[in-house]
Structure 1
Amino acid sequence: MSAGKAVGSIVTVAAILARATAYGVRAALTKRAVERLEKRYHDRAESAKYLSEAMTKLEVDEPTTTAYMEVFTLSEAMADNVQGIVGRADSLQANAQGLAEATEAEHGRMREANRTHTVKMADRQFIQPR
């Protein structure tokens, strides 16, 4: 990043804390979305299994019942794979929460010091980048 660009972009403590919190929120939303995906795969697997078993009792041809059982097997495998992603999403959410807490611990005291200081701050026009 160039020096001109670094000077031109001002980052505040509030912005850093807001981004850390937002990251945690997005991680939690991602985890919930992945959990819903896992549930959908399990639901579809159970539906395919039910249809395969019902068609077997109704003496539907074997290729059709076998195809539905394959859909069940593949859907269960996908649900298992998604379950691994849920575990990783748990880690992501925990890491994001830790990041937000660490950021608050590190930078929150600066925000508090800026809010409660008794030193007169420089005029904004004086500190504007040129």
Structure 2
Amino acid sequence: MSVIRTVYGAATYVGLLVKAAAYGARAATTRRAVERMRSRYQDRADSARYLSEAMTVLQVDEPTTTAYMEVATLSQSAADHVGAIVSEADVLAALAEQLSEANIAQHGRMADANRTHDVQMADRSFIKRT
């Protein structure tokens, strides 16, 4: 019974490490995508602000210049909110890294022992989860 637990524990340990790495990769990918979105909103805000100011100098009607400034304000707000998502993605990546480190710290000796032991392990077909 202890051999089954050892094999199951090793498989669980490796699975957790793989999942932690996958979460870290997903968090990094999400962060990059959200950062691109933030940049697009920021560019739109800057462009709308520039156009509103230029139209004001050119004495374009007030409703048009006001509408462009409102677009600038809303785009800036969206960029700021997306920036908060980027921060949360960073937190997620850090937590995934901590999960990986915690698993290595807690189960690393067992994994090392399984890799370096000289005892013949049971055939996988013999060991079945119940």
What residue number does 2:113 align with? 113
What residue number does 2:5 align with? none
CA-CA distance at 1:52 after TM superposition: 0.9
Q: TM-score, normalised by structure 1?
A: 0.81
Structure 2: which 5+ runs fail to align?
Answer: 1-7
CA-CA distance at 1:60 after TM superposition: 1.8
| SS of corresponding position for 1:34 | helix
CA-CA distance at 1:18 after TM superposition: 1.0
The Cα RMSD (Å) is 1.9
Summarize deviations over 1:1-28 as a string: whole Å, max 9, x none.
xxxxxxxxx6813222111111111112
| Mapped contact 1:39–1:79 kept (Cα < 8 A) | yes
Residue type of the alignment partner of 1:103: N
The 2-side partners of 1:33 and 1:71 are apart by 23
The 2-side partners of 1:118 and 1:37 are apart by 54
Q: Which one is further off, 10-19 or 30-39?
A: 10-19
| Mapped contact 1:24–1:100 kept (Cα < 8 A) | no
CA-CA distance at 1:116 after TM superposition: 0.6
Residues paired across the two proteins, number = 121
Q: After the TM superposition, which segments of 4 or more aligned residues of structure 1 sit over 3 Å from their partners?
A: none
The 2-side partners of 1:39 and 1:107 are apart by 41
Summarize deviations over 1:85-126 as a string: whole Å, max 9, x none.
222222111111111111222233222211111111112232
